[in-house]
Amino acid sequence: MSSGNGNKTENAYVTLSGLALQIRLDWPYHKSTSGADFWTLHSEIQPIGTEKHALVAINMTTTLREVLPSLLPKDTEGPTLNALRKEFDRHQIEFLKSAKLVPLPFSSRHYDFKRGAWAFHKATEEQIAEFLLRRVYWQTKLSGPAPVQVTDAVDAQYLGATTDHLLDAAKKISSQGVFTLEGDYARATENLMSHGAAFEVAQQHALDELEEKHAFERG
């Protein structure tokens, strides 16, 4: 996960749309200096294996700030990462060659006030299975053969699932020979890594869709 010192970390954040991202968060959140009533955190995002990047100013609204115990990473890091992932799923963030800073509202649309819970996705069983395969593949490609936690709480929040649900799904997948499970950690097999082209194609397709959408909007 991204660290509080703002350095890039070796963590793969995958999205339901097929992207695998490295995300840098430049802590801390700070009150906007523009006079607007929100708190800002800057982020740099890069798809793994590409030279593309996006620079984002995450603008947390006052309404959302009120549901958080604090602005410290321990209370805001997971929701912030998941808000970024969801906005990529919604095609709202564009990868640019320039250093343009893109504003991203981090607002009540990311939170269900009736349930008192974060609202990013409600993933299907099929989506969860595909997510876990991508997660293990990309993390292994990024960091080497170390085992990958399949019960990450931030991933569970993003998917609208529980960590127990993710573990149950991983147990079913492991029977296919794509990874072995050691507790709640998965170790990729050669079978999984040899089929990496499918994950790479999914990432390129997601990137192409983003590019086409924003090219259309620019006219």
Please tell me the predicted confidence (pLDDT) of residue 195. 92
- Band of residue 96 on the pLDDT scale cut at 50, 70, 90: confident
What is the sign, positive or negative, of the torsion defined by CA atoms of 165, 170, 171, 173?
Answer: positive
- Band of residue 4 on the pLDDT scale cut at 50, 70, 90: very low
Give the mean pLDDT of 90-108. Answer: 87
SS (H, E, C) 114-149: CCCEECCCCCCHHHHHHHHHHHHHHHHHHHCCCCEE
pLDDT tens digits, one per residue of 111-150: 999 999 999 999 999 999 999 999 999 999 999 999 999 9
Please tell me the predicted confidence (pLDDT) of residue 214. 72
- Band of residue 94 on the pLDDT scale cut at 50, 70, 90: confident
Name the average pLDDT for the chain.
Answer: 92
Q: Taking the domain 125-197, which CATH number applies?
A: 1.10.10.10
> What residue segments make up the domains of the chain, in order of their start?
13-118, 125-197
* Residue closest to 23 by CA, chosen among 10, 40, 41: 10
pLDDT tens digits, one per residue of 171-184: 999 999 999 999 99
What's the predicted TM-score (pTM) here? Answer: 0.92
- Band of residue 14 on the pLDDT scale cut at 50, 70, 90: very high
Give the percent of the chain with pLDDT over 70.
94
Give the pair of three-digit tokens for residue 127.
Answer: 């989506």
Q: Is the pLDDT of residue 7 over 70?
A: no
Q: Is the pLDDT of residue 209 over 60?
A: yes
CA neighbours closer than 13 Å in the CB half-sphere of residue 53: 14
Burial of 197 (0-12, 13-18, 19+ CB in 10 A): exposed
Give the mean pLDDT of 51-55. Answer: 91
Please tell me the predicted confidence (pLDDT) of residue 97. 73
